Chains A and B, each alone.
Chain A
Amino acid sequence: MLRVSSPHTHNRRDSGQIMRLVMVATVPGLLALTLFFGWGSLFNVALACATAVLCEALVMKLRGRPVMFYLRDCSALVTGVLLGLALPPYCPWWLVVVGSATAIILAKQLYGGMGFNPFNPAMVGYVVLLISFPVAMTQWAAPAGVLADQVGFIEGMRQIWGGVPIDGYTAATPLDVVKQNSSLLLDDVYTTDPTLSEGVWAGAGWEWVNIGFLLGGLFLLYQRVFTWHAPVSMLVTLTLMAALFYDGGSSHSGGSPLFHLLSGATMLGAFFIVTDPVTSAVSNRGRMVYGALVGVLLYVMRYWSNYPDAIAFAVLLMNFAAPFIDYYTVPRTYGHKKSRPATNKGEH
């Protein structure tokens, strides 16, 4: 007869299922990416996943842990998927491999594996690549409809594997365009820039990619994989910041709130990166603060730094701050008058 401690019953959802739900939720965004930017992202995701799983298995083997047991939680796959989505389509294969291996080995396993990493592994991988190979990392394919035809399968393969460059398949991202603009009114930019003029709110392709990730995020919220606190507060502060510096659409405008919400990696970041439970704050209140500060930092870096987009930097910086936020956001326990910083001795 089994002798175990209560509770004896358990919810049927386990970590693996949560991870699989997260991967399912990336489908609309990935679909949009593929539709507008070609199959490069699909390839990135596949290669990053394969590398991530291999690295995870390797480390588990080295650490003498049951490999299959740990692979079954699918956390390595999620890291691979997120990194693959973040990398530019048709980037060289080694970029994906280096990024994915860095994410799993350096950012995750060296810290003790799942649950112990202080920084979001996918974002660490991304930042390592961005700093080490800035040129390769900023070559974004132009969205469909902007250029005459999309990159073909053979062409793409040759670029990925052989480093044979494709002619003129890239285009400045809308964030880049707005950032570089210093002479035109925003309305004029919208009409002159091909990417922006093809789109409705934030450039052709990009807005749909963001809407795709937003849908995926809403699905996860509905599935109660995470709470609304971090993503919503991030989007709110980003909107506020954008509204503050919108400037009525002048030549120095940072872009409209809607533009910021629907461009770059905003929605991917809000629903798939900021919501990473391991590296964010623990309480709901803490997650609100965490998300809000990511939103502020994101805008600050988009507007003032040299990088057009900055989800990875903003998230990593806030990963640093998460324990600090936790310290001040311990929730009020039942039967206690007020919450207090985590280090205060409990009153009895």
Chain B
Amino acid sequence: MGSLIKTWEIPGGVHPPENKAQSLQLPLGKMPLPPTLFLPLNQHIGTPAKPVVEVGDRVLGGQLIADAEGVFSARVHAPTSGKVSDIKDSLVPHPSGMSAPCIIIEPDGADEWVELHPLEDYLSADKSELLSRIRAAGIAGLGGAGFPTSVKLNPRADHSIDTLILNGTECEPYITADDVLMQTRADEVIAGSLLLAKLLDYPEHILVGVEDNKPEAIAALQKAAAGTEVQVVPFPTKYPSGGEKQLIQILTGREVPSGQIPATIGVVCQNVGTAASVYRAVRFGEPLVSRITTVVGEALQTQRNVEVLLGTPIDYLLEQHGFDAQRASRLVMGGPMMGFSLPDASVPVIKTTNCILAPSKVELPPPAPAQACIRCGLCAEACPASLLPQQLFWYAQAEDYEKLESHNLFDCIECGACSYVCPSNIPLVQYYRAAKGTIRHQQQEKEKSDRARRRFEFRQERIAKEEAEKEAKRAARKQAAEEAKRKLAEQKSAPVAEQAPAADSELRPVSTAQAQATGGQPSRAVQQAKLERNLVAAQSSLTKAREPLTANEPGGTVSQEQLDKQQARIKQAELKVREAEKKLQQFQASSDTPTTTQEQDPVAAAIARARAKVNQSPEEKLRSSLESLYKRLSKAEEKAAEARAEGSDKADALQQGVDKLKEKIATSQKELDELAPSTVAQPSSASRSDADHASLAIEKAKAKAAAMATMSAEDKLRNQIESLKARLEKAQERLAKAEAEGDENVEAFRTGVSKLEDKLQQLNNR
């Protein structure tokens, strides 16, 4: 039945020696309880789980010991009963040999379990109930990537899933874990598949893909699948058919679009082991605490598959299988094509550990030295993604990352087929991994610098805008003053002029000045708000700076240096708070005192004066001055009469002053007389041109702002460098001063300077 289903062929691929027979000679084995279990909090892709037990707690088998943190996370359970001896960083299975938080359990041998809650009628259960059971069991993809299973079973609403694929390909040489599982627990795999299908609303096709080198597994599956919607699809063996994208292509002929997930083309892919665990989790309430792992390699006396508790140290596992470290060339977790070599055997078995390979030096000899690429193209023929590995290698060596991306480096699945066939023994995949890492890093850096640039540009724009506004204000004010002056002069020269029609245009600068003056008002409020914000920010950073210190002190694990740094940080934060407070106070005080109103006044006064002058007709003006002259004259005459009566020698001088005043009055009177009859309107072209002048200034300022905004990248860079240099100089001065005074913040200053130097260096390098 199954063989009738059409399959597609993937391009490329290789046929490495399968080496699967070694581990299939013995039946599935069981392991004694290891003395210690190391359970990493992150055995999946996503956020690490959060411990819910404490050191010293006694835990039972199946008890939750670490809860999922968010959706992209998976729970961790105790594989057996025992005591939590520690929760600390320990070596985890990772190519880098890094440490990560682990819960360490010492089994007590009793293997007492928590009460499990089976669900017999699971097929009629609610979907959310099933999903929560899967989540509760901490199931993550057992195929290798460790993707939290429940996430995959919750496809987006716009992805309608028509095909569920169960991956039983196991195309990697040596590994037989899935093979054994399919042989021994075919019914669980099929039941799990149906369960998954239910969660995906029964997709049209439920396909179990198995390479044809596992006839027993295929037979067992077909037997278990008889009468169900599940179809078992055998297809020709070829590495890397088991890659998710490849398997999808083989079974559906469809390709997952670059950078997308299979759900976009209506496919969900799960490992057969995952399906079986899902079944056990739902049906029996069993959490994921063990898995089948292939232990294989010529450096072992026993090569077989074992059911092993998660957290079992690899060295214990190897010990149980007669490992001879002298014979081993390396230790690999996973298969020989995509597995990674373990730097240390003390790491534990985790949810994704499908194979421990301990090959002898003859079996997997050290890699031969790489020769020059002869561009034979064998790699391109082997590539299942139809890439040009030889070109990628060329560009990776040249560090031409743009070319690498244009040759779709990121579509490389790192299957290793190209390296496998390379006659020059070039570790191609290693080059790709490194290049991918560099590109990712560069992208992050670019994003960061882009953000900084945008911020900088926005600031420049804002400053330019402010500058333009100021410029316009200044111009308007100047114009208003000039206008007033000119008016005065005009009044003198042209005693009578019709003001009414001109007034409109002359008033414009005044209104502008007014508008700008009042426009300045809200900016003060903004300023105050800003200062307040600054204060709040400084305060919050102060509390932040205080926080870790108080938290760390009781632990006593914080180094003196750290404490010092924290103290310095707090001091700095305090300083900032004080400064902000002072500034705000100053600001508030200044806005309360009359000085500020006076500060504002000149503008208002100028406006008032200008308005008064403009509003006053020359006639009125003359009249008022005439009046004052008369007043002065009468006073002067009085004084002169007094002086004369007293016989003072000042009398003459005073009389002269009186005469002069009389003269002035006469001219003023004459002017007034002249002004009165003249009704000829002087079209105040002068004032209009003045207004134009002001608008010109505004235009200019605007243009300047625009120019700043559209400055070429090079100019911007230059500006940036200039300003950075200035800042650096200032910072250096401050540092020198701080050093001279033995300031306690010297370190902070120093880091500031070095940061600025780095930045400058980066800019210069561009």
Query: Which residue of the partner chain B has the closest CB to A113?
Result: B372
Given A6-B339, A345-B402, is A333 in contact with B377 using a C-beta cutoff of 8 Å?
no
Give Cα A345 to B359, complex, Å. 43
Q: Is the pair B429, A5 in contact by a Cβ cutoff of 8 Å?
A: yes
| Chain B residues with CB below 8 A from A287, complex form | 377
Whether, in the assembled complex, B376 has its beta carbon less than 8 Å from a beta carbon of chain A, the answer is: yes
| Chain B residues with CB below 8 A from A8, complex form | 330, 332, 336-337, 339, 341, 357, 359, 364
Q: Is the pair A2, B373 in contact by a Cβ cutoff of 8 Å?
A: no
Q: Is the pair A14, B387 in contact by a Cβ cutoff of 8 Å?
A: no
Q: Which of A7, A70, A283 has the most CB of B within 10 A?
A: A7
Q: Is the pair A227, B377 in contact by a Cβ cutoff of 8 Å?
A: yes
Whether, in the assembled complex, A183 has its beta carbon less than 8 Å from a beta carbon of chain B, the answer is: no
Give Cα A343 to B338, complex, Å. 30
Q: Is the pair B245, A334 in contact by a Cβ cutoff of 8 Å?
A: yes
Can you name 9 A-B residue pairings with CB atoms under 8 Å? A1-B331, A8-B330, A8-B337, A15-B424, A282-B390, A334-B245, A334-B411, A335-B256, A335-B258
Query: Which residue of the partner chain A has the closest CB to B427?
Result: A5
CB distance from A99 to the nearest CB of B (A): 22
Whether, in the assembled complex, B30 has its beta carbon less than 8 Å from a beta carbon of chain A, the answer is: no
Partner of A284, one of B329, B380, B423: B380
CB distance from B23 to the nearest CB of A (A): 16
Map CB proximity to A onto B479-493 as digits: 1 under 8 Å, 0 otherwise: 000000000000000
| Chain B residues with CB below 8 A from A113, complex form | 372
Instruction: Tell me the total A-B contact number using a CB cutoff of 8 A.
Output: 184
Whether, in the assembled complex, B577 has its beta carbon less than 8 Å from a beta carbon of chain A, the answer is: no
Q: Is the pair A278, B408 in contact by a Cβ cutoff of 8 Å?
A: no
Query: Which residue of the partner chain B has the closest CB to A72?
Result: B371
Q: Is the pair B374, A115 in contact by a Cβ cutoff of 8 Å?
A: yes
Q: Is the pair B364, A282 in contact by a Cβ cutoff of 8 Å?
A: no
Whether, in the assembled complex, A63 has its beta carbon less than 8 Å from a beta carbon of chain B, the answer is: no
Map CB proximity to A onto B375-410 as digits: 1 under 8 Å, 0 otherwise: 111001100111110110000000000110111111
Chain B 652-677 residues near chain A, CB threshold 8 A: none
Partner of A345, one of B245, B345, B405: B405
CB distance from A291 to the nearest CB of B (A): 13
| Chain B residues with CB below 8 A from A348, complex form | 259, 410
6 additional contacts, CB 8 Å, given A14-B368, A14-B424?
A1-B342, A6-B338, A8-B357, A277-B375, A282-B388, A343-B406
Q: Is the pair B376, A18 in contact by a Cβ cutoff of 8 Å?
A: yes
Q: Is the pair B390, A15 in contact by a Cβ cutoff of 8 Å?
A: no
The chain A residues found within 8 Å of chain B, CB to CB, are 1-11, 13-15, 17-18, 69-70, 73, 75, 113-116, 226-227, 277-278, 282-284, 287, 326, 330-336, 342-348
Q: Is the pair B336, A335 in contact by a Cβ cutoff of 8 Å?
A: no
| Chain A residues with CB below 8 A from B409, complex form | 346
Given A334-B255, A345-B406, is A115 in contact with B372 using a C-beta cutoff of 8 Å?
yes
Query: Which residue of the partner chain A has the closest CB to B14?
Result: A11
| Chain B residues with CB below 8 A from A4, complex form | 330, 341, 366-367, 427
The chain B residues found within 8 Å of chain A, CB to CB, are 11, 14, 16-17, 95, 173, 245, 249, 255-260, 325, 328-332, 334, 336-343, 345, 357, 359, 364, 366-369, 371-377, 380-381, 384-388, 390-391, 402-403, 405-411, 414, 416, 419-425, 427, 429-430, 433
Q: Is the pair A282, B377 in contact by a Cβ cutoff of 8 Å?
A: yes
Give Cα A9 to B297, complex, Å. 13
CB distance from A327 to the nearest CB of B (A): 11
Query: Which residue of the partner chain A has the closest CB to B174?
Result: A9
Partner of B343, one of A1, A283, A331, A345: A1
Q: Is the pair B386, A332 in contact by a Cβ cutoff of 8 Å?
A: yes
Q: Which of B257, B391, B405, B408 has the most CB of A within 10 A?
A: B408
Give Cα A1 to B327, complex, Å. 10
Query: Which residue of the partner chain A has the closest CB to B381?
Result: A227
Give Cα A73 to B341, complex, Å. 29
| Chain B residues with CB below 8 A from A10, complex form | 367-368, 419-420, 422, 425
CB distance from A100 to the nearest CB of B (A): 20
Give Cα A151 to B401, complex, Å. 60
Chain B binding surface, main DSSP class = loop
Partner of B364, one of A9, A284, A331: A9
Given A1-B343, A4-B341, is A335 in contact with B411 using a C-beta cutoff of 8 Å?
yes
CB distance from A114 to the nearest CB of B (A): 4
Q: Is the pair B411, A115 in contact by a Cβ cutoff of 8 Å?
A: no
Give Cα A330 to B389, complex, Å. 11
Give Cα A347 to B258, complex, Å. 9
| Chain B residues with CB below 8 A from A70, complex form | 371
| Chain A residues with CB below 8 A from B342, complex form | 1
Q: Is the pair B380, A342 in contact by a Cβ cutoff of 8 Å?
A: no
Q: Is the pair B421, A11 in contact by a Cβ cutoff of 8 Å?
A: yes
| Chain B residues with CB below 8 A from A227, complex form | 377, 381
Q: Which of B11, B338, B342, B380 has the most CB of A within 10 A?
A: B380
Q: Is the pair B337, A9 in contact by a Cβ cutoff of 8 Å?
A: yes
Q: Is the pair B416, A6 in contact by a Cβ cutoff of 8 Å?
A: yes
CB distance from A277 to the nearest CB of B (A): 4
Q: Is the pair B16, A333 in contact by a Cβ cutoff of 8 Å?
A: no
Give Cα A331 to B364, complex, Å. 33
Partner of B386, one of A278, A326, A333: A333
Partner of A7, one of B403, B410, B420: B420
| Chain B residues with CB below 8 A from A347, complex form | 258
Given A2-B330, A335-B245, is A282 in contact with B391 using a C-beta cutoff of 8 Å?
yes
Give Cα A82 to B334, complex, Å. 45
Q: Is the pair B403, A342 in contact by a Cβ cutoff of 8 Å?
A: yes
| Chain B residues with CB below 8 A from A75, complex form | 374
CB distance from A26 to the nearest CB of B (A): 18
Give Cα A326 to B245, complex, Å. 27
Q: Is the pair B337, A346 in contact by a Cβ cutoff of 8 Å?
A: no
Give Cα A287 to B384, complex, Å. 19
Give Cα A8 to B338, complex, Å. 8
Query: Which residue of the partner chain A has the closest CB to B329?
Result: A2
CB distance from A318 to the nearest CB of B (A): 15
Give Cα A330 to B408, complex, Å. 10
Give Cα A18 to B425, complex, Å. 13
Partner of A331, one of B16, B386, B420, B429: B386
CB distance from B514 to the nearest CB of A (A): 54
Q: Is the pair B337, A7 in contact by a Cβ cutoff of 8 Å?
A: yes
The 8 A-B residue pairs with the shortest CB-CB distance in the complex, in nearest-first order: A7-B416, A115-B372, A335-B258, A2-B330, A334-B385, A9-B336, A5-B430, A346-B405
Given A18-B376, A347-B258, is A5 in contact with B433 using a C-beta cutoff of 8 Å?
yes
Query: Which residue of the partner chain B has the closest CB to A229?
Result: B377
Q: Is the pair A278, B330 in contact by a Cβ cutoff of 8 Å?
A: no
CB distance from A25 to the nearest CB of B (A): 15
Q: Is the pair A69, B369 in contact by a Cβ cutoff of 8 Å?
A: yes
Give Cα A284 to B423, complex, Å. 18
Q: Is the pair A15, B385 in contact by a Cβ cutoff of 8 Å?
A: no
Give Cα A238 to B423, complex, Å. 32
Give Cα A345 to B405, complex, Å. 7
Given A1-B342, A333-B387, A334-B249, is A115 in contact with B373 using a C-beta cutoff of 8 Å?
yes
| Chain A residues with CB below 8 A from B340, complex form | 5-6
Q: Is the pair A336, B408 in contact by a Cβ cutoff of 8 Å?
A: yes
Q: Is the pair A346, B429 in contact by a Cβ cutoff of 8 Å?
A: no
Given A284-B380, A331-B388, is A15 in contact with B408 using a C-beta cutoff of 8 Å?
no
Q: Is the pair B364, A114 in contact by a Cβ cutoff of 8 Å?
A: no
Give Cα A331 to B390, complex, Å. 13
Q: Which of A4, A70, A330 has the most CB of B within 10 A?
A: A4
Give Cα A14 to B374, complex, Å. 11
Q: Is the pair B420, A11 in contact by a Cβ cutoff of 8 Å?
A: yes
Give Cα A63 to B1, complex, Å. 64
Q: Is the pair B384, A2 in contact by a Cβ cutoff of 8 Å?
A: no
CB distance from A344 to the nearest CB of B (A): 6
Query: Which residue of the partner chain A has the closest CB to B361?
Result: A2
| Chain A residues with CB below 8 A from B359, complex form | 8
Given A8-B336, A8-B364, A345-B402, is A13 in contact with B411 using a C-beta cutoff of 8 Å?
no
